[in-house]
Amino acid sequence: MNRSLIALISAAASGIIFGIGLSIGRMTDPQKIWNFLDIAAIPSGGWDPSLAFVMGGGVLVGLVGLRLERWLGLTKPIAAPAFIKTHRVRIDAPLVIGAAVFGVGWGLSGFCPGPSVADLGLVPGDVYPFTIAMFVGSWVAGQFLEWSERSPSRTADARAG
Amino acid sequence: MQNFTPLSATVGGLLIGLSATILWVVNGRTAGISNIAGGIYPIRRSDELWRWVFLIGLPVGAYLGFVAAPAIFAEVPKTLPVITLTPVWLIGTGLLVGVGTRVGRGCTSGHGICGLSRLSVRSLVAVATFMATAMITVFIVRHVV
């Protein structure tokens, strides 16, 4: 079996397992996300910490899994030419502003990107306006970021800053 | 605590970690949904196809999990998620999430699960920021307005 086919099967398996995980953890339900984000409900006992357990479970496996290549001595992935990850380390304005805007949208909707795509398998007729708008928002912002990185004045500003 | 489902939440999280592990070790990619979704168009290289395949897997998996979960975990409801928001509200908030995750370069999976697993300070700052603004937003919507 050739490597690109293995890579596609692996991507499919990864997506399916991710979707099963979201669904079992009930992260597909915006009500459950709101019940986590509503920390004012802690004193009354109405708070639902489940989301933290989902993240905790994911990080627990990730701490091992995302380092596995070092322990296995892999110089490249099993079915791809190279490990691709960001080299960004700087805490910059786009990171904080983007995360802040995302948080507002997440709080207002109860949806982050994964569950909004996963819910196309559960309640497609209800969720699709969000999912499509999310793709459009990401694409437009991506075009703007590419443009601003190419623009000479912005580059000069970035260097000066 | 009402509606708290610790067992199924932890198992769900472990599965997401397994998914991220497979995508990393086999494909050399990070399982950040906003990043994967951000690169699906235009389809110009073979780099885009795996993204589509992964994203189509999400709803398939969600459906399988929805059918299987209540049989395995008594705590998981058998009901479909209920979306009470209007289409206009969904579009507005979808745009915020799309723009925010693109500019901030990550979401709950990319910064949250993968970034924290890599002990990235950048991701920790992002997670603290979006958790804070999301919690403030929900506080305002539920308890102030």
| pTM of structure | 0.94
HSE (CB half, 13 Å, CA atoms) of A52? 11
Report CA B132 to chain centroid distance, whole Å.
17
Q: How far is CA B97 from CA A6, A105, A111, B90, B134, in A?
A: 32, 5, 8, 10, 11
pLDDT exceeds 80 at position B110 = yes
| Confidence at residue A153, expressed as pLDDT on a 0 to 100 scale | 59
Query: How far is residue B80 CA from its own chain's centroid?
Result: 18
Judge whether A61 and B12 are in contact, CB under 8 Å: no
pLDDT in tens, B39-81: 887 655 667 899 999 999 999 999 999 999 999 999 999 999 9
What is the reported pLDDT for B47? Answer: 72
* pLDDT given for residue B44 in this prediction: 55
Integer Rg of chain A from CA: 19
For residue B114, what pLDDT band results from cuts at 50, 70 and 90?
very high
List all residues of chain B from 66 to 95 with a beta carbon under 8 Å from chain A. 66, 68-69, 72-73, 76-77, 80-83, 85, 87, 89-95
Of B1, B34, B125, nearest in space to A44 by CA: B1
CB atoms A88 and B105 under 8 Å = yes
In angstroms, the Cα distances linking A22 to A40, B9, B123, B127 are 25, 9, 21, 18
Residues of chain A with pLDDT under 70: 152-161
Who's near A96: CB < 8 A, 6+ residues apart?
B104, B125, B126, B129
Whether residue B105 and residue A68 make contact (CB cut-off 8 A), yes or no, is no
Contact A130, A116 (CB under 8 A): yes
